Amino acid sequence: MPKFSNQPDFEMRVIVVLCFAMLLSNPVFAQKKSKKMGAKFVLVIHGGAGTILKENMTPEKEKAYMDKLTEALIAGYKVLKDSGTSIQAVQAAIMIMEDSPLFNAGKGSVYTNDERIEMDAAIMDGKTGKAGSVAGVRTVKNPITAAIAVMNRSEHVLLTGEGADAFAKKSGCTIVDTSYFFDLNRLQQLRKVKEQEKAVLDHDGEQGMHTDSSAIEFNVDLNPDKKFGTVGAVALDVHGNLAAGTSTGGMTNKRYGRVGDVPIIGAGTYADNATCAISCTGHGEYFIRNVVAYDVAALMKYKGWSLEKASHHVVMEKLASLKGMGGLIAVDREGNYTMPFNTPGMYRGAIRADGKVEVYIYR
């Protein structure tokens, strides 16, 4: 468990700055330049928080993450630059990360205890207050598209299980065979966790995280690597509207239909033009109990705190004091953004109207 205070700055802070001369000279953008230049917009993304340490990373793997985060940012940037909506930008960025095996969402989702994939996703529109989410989908290539379909094409907010898969299919989301999600690394990761679990159980479960002495023996150490893979994006568009989206494969070795904070509006995902857009990553149960995403908004709305102060308080003080590990990304309607986390690392990045890309991994 990392110490949350007095933690030394980690070795590496990586900033990739790309100028997009090519992009800006692209006729599509040049045409609309007068309309958009000067307009404020920003996209912030994360690819999960956790015990992400430089010493456990190869240069190749590090580069792969940096490149994929950059690709996701540019995909969303193109949407925003072209006067697209914050919802569209969030979707574009998240789909890039869902399609990559690097992140625990979509293609890279971790396995459940019974070696299946169960994915959750959510979207919220800060302009309308509308929201959509899905929990436990197994056949939707990009769960964020299913969440958007729930928001736009139903009067519901949360659909679950096979019903959510069926709704996504009916809504025109791309459906894939479950073999699409097969990933040998993830399967090995699950089996390693199950072996560790068995070892712990054989040792009287004394290292378990149970909450009372009669606890059922399951998920003894939910997440031995303390990596909370999830992807998310928040955006402010040129129309002044905020949006937030999040997508995850959940926890390795999860069972009993466990659902974390991601599809819970107010916990893992929240957006309101009056305050902010938030997407979280971390130990989901802590984020649910503490209604983390909405709490940031409530501190801004009811106490008049800045985005930075409210986000920092919730992640670095409140959650950290409870040992609730994770982080969040946040943007307000002025275009201010912040990416606090109380773990050693969080895959994250941001891009503003000037096209400057920031991508970071470690503290």
The interface region with a copy of itself, picked from 103-111, 174-182, 209-217, 343-351 by CB under 8 A, is: 209-217
Catalytic residue among 70, 112, 139, 230: 230
- Written as one letter, the residue type at 286 is Y
Per the annotation, the verdict on 230 as an active-site residue is yes
Question: Binding marks (x or -) toward a copy of itself, 103..142, rule CB under 8 A?
Answer: ---------------------x----xxx---xx------
Q: How, if at all, do strands 42-50 and 119-125 pair? A: unpaired
Sign of the dihedral defined by the CA atoms of residues 132, 351, 229, 183, in that order: positive
As a whole number of Å, the end-to-end CA separation of the chain is 15
Asked if residue 211 binds a copy of itself (CB under 8 A), the reply is yes
For the beta sheet containing 326-332, the strands, ordered from the edge strand earlier in sequence to the opposite edge, are 269-271, 276-282, 326-332, 337-338
Q: How, if at all, do strands 276-282 and 158-160 pair? A: unpaired
Rg (CA), the chain: 19
Residue 275 CB, nearest approach to a copy of itself (Å): 12
- Out of 40, 61, 170, 191, the residue judged to bind a copy of itself by CB under 8 A: 170
Q: Quote the CA–CA distance of 233 and 89 in Å, as a whole number.
A: 8
- Out of 2, 101, 161, 240, the residue judged to bind a copy of itself by CB under 8 A: 161
- Pick 75 or 159: Cβ nearer a copy of itself: 159
Considering only CA atoms, which of 292, 289, 276, 277 is closest in space to residue 327? 292
Residue 200 CB, nearest approach to a copy of itself (Å): 13
- Out of 42, 102, 110, 264, the residue judged to bind a copy of itself by CB under 8 A: 264
Q: Which residue has the tokens 């069926």?
A: 166
Residues 334/308, Cβ–Cβ less than 8 Å: no
Residue 25 phi/psi, 5° resolution?
A: -85, -5
Residue 267 CA, chain-centre distance (Å), reads: 12
Asked if residue 175 binds a copy of itself (CB under 8 A), the reply is no
- Out of 154, 178, 188, 321, the residue judged to bind a copy of itself by CB under 8 A: 154
Q: How, if at all, do strands 345-352 and 357-362 pair? A: antiparallel
Residue 60 CB, nearest approach to a copy of itself (Å): 35
- Pick 97 or 271: Cβ nearer a copy of itself: 271
Considering only CA atoms, which of 294, 348, 290 is closest in space to residue 324? 290
Asked if residue 182 binds a copy of itself (CB under 8 A), the reply is no
Q: How many residues bind a copy of itself (CB under 8 A)?
A: 58
Asked if residue 267 binds a copy of itself (CB under 8 A), the reply is yes
- Out of 151, 242, 320, 350, the residue judged to bind a copy of itself by CB under 8 A: 151
- Pick 29 or 305: Cβ nearer a copy of itself: 305
Q: Quote the CA–CA distance of 169 and 116 in Å, as a whole number.
A: 19
Site of interaction with a copy of itself (CB under 8 A): 124, 129-131, 135-136, 151-164, 166-167, 170-171, 209-212, 214-216, 218-219, 222, 255-260, 264-267, 270, 284-285, 288-291, 294-295, 298-299, 302-303, 322
Residues marked as catalytic: 230
